Amino acid sequence: MSCLFCDIATKKIPAKVVREDEYTIAFHDINPAAPTHVLVIPKKHLTSISDATEADAALLGHLMLAAKTVAQELGVQDGGYRIVLNTGTNGGQSVLHLHAHVLGGRALAWPPG
């Protein structure tokens, strides 16, 4: 079964890539909810955080650090930013590949939804 984000990670589908390393790739969201809205995904397919195991602990830590680096590189760290993982339909997950949203560039309300 084809996965949109796996296809982006393998460059089968183009994206506006912000950064990439051995384990993750970060790219601009096509429907941004903030002035800065980047998705950071693991290159390994995981449907959601619910599917992660102890064996994925290092990858998950790397994903969070990559999200932090994206915020720094895009200049939203000082003003503040949000990292969001949506899980499942009720959690707002629309693509079934684990991804972290990095949102910034404006004041973000709470609660979010």
Contact 102, 38 (CB under 8 A): yes
CA 65 to CA 7: how far, in whole Å?
23
How many residues belong to the chain?
113
Of the residues 45, 97, 99, 101, only one is catalytic, namely: 99
Q: Is 45 a catalytic residue?
A: no
CA 24 to CA 99: how far, in whole Å?
10
**Which residues are identified as catalytic?**
99
